[in-house]
Chain A
C-alpha cells in the first residue's frame, strides 16, 4: 500500500510500479503542501513544466536527447521521421481547419496547435486492440487511429456527430460534455478485464482516456478514478494539461500538480513533457503495458500548451498572460524534433521537402472534401434515434418529409 505521507525526498531509487504500489519518483511533490507557499509560488509550481525532476523528458526544447532512468526509448531514424511526419501533418490539418472555419466552411474548430506531441506520442503508443476515449480536441490521436481528418471536420461542419466506426478504429466518438468519457473509458476497461484480456502483454488490451486540465474538477473524473482503482481497470487516464480551460488558468482547478492526485486514489501518476513526443510515447507505452499486464490504472499528466484560442469562437486576448505564448513557442513540439533530426543527421533535406509537399496535398484534399461535403437531408433528423423504431418518431418523420416535399414540388427551380 502507498505510504500515507508524501515522500520528502525525490532521490529515492527508481522503483517498479506495482498494482497499487507507488514508485516514489512518480509521486514526489514538486512543492510540498505544508502551507508555507504563497499563492504565487503555488501557481509557479503548477506551471513549472520545463524544470523539476518529476517531469519526464527525453528530448529537450533545444532538440537534445536526454536519458531518463525509468523511461528509455530505443528508436530508429525511420521511426523518428514517422513521428515528425505525423505531427507536421496533423498540424497542417489543424491549420487548414481553422482557415476553413474562418471562411465559413466549418461552424467551429477546436485547435490542437501546440498539443501535437502529446497526442501523437500517446496515439502511437497504442496497439490496434487498445481503445481510446477522446474529448473534443484529440484530432492527433484520431489521426493515429486511422480516423481521417475529414471525419473530424464533419462534426465541426455540422453534417454529423461523429461518422467513424468507434469499435473498428478503437477510437470512441468525441465527447463534448466534460468529461463524461472518463467513466465510459473506465467501464470499457472493466469489460476488457471481464473478457480476460489482461495478462500476456502481446495480445492483451488496455484503454486510454483523454481529458483536459479543466476537466479534472468534474465529478466524473473523481468517479472514474475511484471505479478504475476499485476494479483494477486497465485504463490510462491521459490528461493534457494545456494550462487553460477556456479563460480559467490551472490555479482555478487545483492546488497540487494534477499528476499527484493519482496518489490519493492509490495508483501512479506521472508528469511527462507533453511537448516531447519521445517522452510521451515512452511513458504512454509503459503505462499501457502496465495496464495490459494488470497493473492499471495509471494517470499521466502531459504538460503542454494551447497555442491557439480555445475554439474559433474564443478571444484569448481577453485573458491571456503577457509573454506566455512566446515562452511556449520556444518549447514547440515540432521544432525540437526537427532540430534533432537535422542536427543528428537523421533526415535529409529530401525528407523535409517531401513532407512539405505531402502536407500541401493533404491540405488541398481536406479542403476539397470539406467544401463538397453533402449536407444531410431532413430525414437525418429522424434516423436511428432508437434501435427499435417508435411510432412517435416514425409519424413525425413521415409528416415532416411530406410537408418538406410539398415545398420542393411547388417551388421548382429557384
Chain B
C-alpha cells in the first residue's frame, strides 16, 4: 500500500499526506475535495502536492460552502466515488452538518445497503493553537451521537498514516478527526509493522494505579502525565480510544477490572459527551471492580473561550495528575 518514498521519521501532518497519497494510488475512485486543498495544499498542508500529482480532476478546490462539499460528496458516492472531504476547521463543519446527519449517515440504512456511503470527512479539531473563535472546538460527540456515522480520532503520526487509509477503504462514512495542535509531532514510521485495525482502541502504556482513557490531542498530555506520575510511584494505564464510534471498550473494561480506577480525559465539554459515555459503560460493566467513582478531566461546559484563557480551559498535565490524586483518595 505504501509508496517507497515514505520517510523514516514523519510528522503527523506528513503521515496524513502520505496516507492520502497511498490511498489515491491504490484506488482511482478516491477524490480529495474541499476549500484550498488544491494548489495551496490545505491551510495545514495536509493535501500538499496531491493536486500536482493526481490532477485537478481528483484533487479539487470547491466553492466556499460546507453543505456543498458534503452534499456533492454524497452524490459522488452514489456515483461510485470515494470522496475525502476536508473541513478547514472544526467550527466550520456546521454548515455541512445537515448533509452529514440527515443524508450521509442515513442513506445506507434507508436504501437497505443499496447505497453505501464511503465518504471520509476530515476535520482538524481541538484547541491550543492560540486561534480566534471557531478554530479550536471539539465537536466529536455530535457525530458519535449520530447513528450511521463512524467516528475516529488519530493521535500520532503512525496512526495518522494508517488510519486515513483505512478510513478511505471503509464502506461507511467516517468522520476523521485530526489533532491540529499535534500536526507537527514526529515519530518513526516502520512500514514492516502491521497496523491495528481502524475500529480498535489501543493500550499505549500499562500500569496498575489507574486507567486513563483519552483520544486525539490529549493522548500526548496523558502520556506526559503518566511519565510524571511514575516519579511519584503511580503507574497509569493509558488507553487511546482511537475509535469514537463504534467504541471499542473491551480493553478499557479489562484494564479497569485490574486497576479499579478510571479517569476519562477529553478537551470537549463534559456534559452528554464521549467521556460520559465511557463512564456510563464502565460503571455498568465494571461495577464490582471499581474502587472509586469514574472521574473526568475535560473542557468546561462553556463555549470555547478567548485564546488567552485556553491554558485554563484545556485539560493539562496538572489537571490529569490532580485527578489521579483524587481517584486515589477513595
Contacts and interface: CB of A to CB of B under 8 A. Distances in A.
Interface of A: 107-108, 136, 155-161, 176-178, 214-215, 217-220, 245-248, 252-253, 313-314, 318-319, 375-376, 378, 380-382, 385, 392-393, 396, 400, 403-404, 407
A245 to B, nearest CB: 5
11 contacts: A158-B130, A161-B306, A215-B64, A219-B67, A246-B35, A247-B40, A248-B36, A319-B40, A385-B301, A392-B301, A400-B312
A8 B65 CA distance: 32
B302 A218 contact: no
A161 B64 contact: no
B91 interface: yes
Nearest to A213: B64
Nearest to B62: A252
B124 interface: no
Interface string B42-72: 0100000000000000000111110110000
A218 B68 CA distance: 8
Contacts of B40: 246-247, 318-319
Interface string B82-115: 0000000001101100000000000000000000
A381 B302 contact: yes
Indicate the member of B94, B131, B308 with the most A CB atoms within 10 Å. Answer: B308
Interface residues of B, number: 39
Given A176-B134, A403-B319, 8 more contacts: A159-B306, A177-B134, A219-B67, A246-B35, A252-B63, A252-B64, A376-B309, A393-B300
Interface in B313-330: 313, 318-319, 322
Contacts of B310: 158
Contacts of A218: 64-65, 67, 95
B312 A178 contact: no
A385 B64 contact: no
A155 B312 CA distance: 18
Given A247-B40, A381-B300, A107 B130 contact: yes
Contacts of B92: 177-178
A158 B271 contact: no
A248 B43 CA distance: 12
B277 interface: no
A289 to B, nearest CB: 31
Contacts, number: 113
Contact of B300 (A318, A400, A407): A400
B65 A247 contact: no
B303 to A, nearest CB: 7
Given A246-B40, A248-B36, A396-B300, A159 B308 contact: yes
A86 to B, nearest CB: 25
Contacts of B322: 403
Given A246-B36, A385-B302, A107 B307 contact: yes
A136 B92 CA distance: 15
Contact of A381 (B41, B64, B312): B312
A409 to B, nearest CB: 14
Given A107-B307, A155-B132, A161-B306, A248 B35 contact: yes
Nearest to B63: A217
A177 to B, nearest CB: 6
Contacts of B309: 376, 378, 380-381
A380 B39 CA distance: 40
A382 B307 contact: no
Contact of B63 (A247, A253, A385): A253
A108 B95 contact: no
Interface string B279-303: 0000000000000000000001111
Given A177-B95, A178-B64, A385 B36 contact: no
B147 interface: no
A29 to B, nearest CB: 21
Contacts of A376: 305-306, 308-309
Contact of B306 (A160, A220, A396, A407): A160
A109 to B, nearest CB: 10
Contacts of A161: 133, 306
Contact of B68 (A176, A214, A217): A217
A161 B308 CA distance: 11
Contacts of A403: 319, 322
Nearest to A216: B64
B64 A392 contact: no
Nearest to A217: B63
Contacts of A157: 308
Contacts of A314: 43
B38 interface: yes
A404 B312 contact: yes
Contacts of B65: 217-219
Interface in B15-30: none
Contact of A158 (B41, B67, B308): B308
B64 A217 contact: yes
Contacts of A215: 64
A107 B61 contact: no
B301 A396 contact: yes
B306 A380 contact: yes
Given A376-B309, A400-B312, A107 B43 contact: no
A194 B64 CA distance: 33
B319 to A, nearest CB: 8
A306 to B, nearest CB: 14
A375 B308 contact: yes
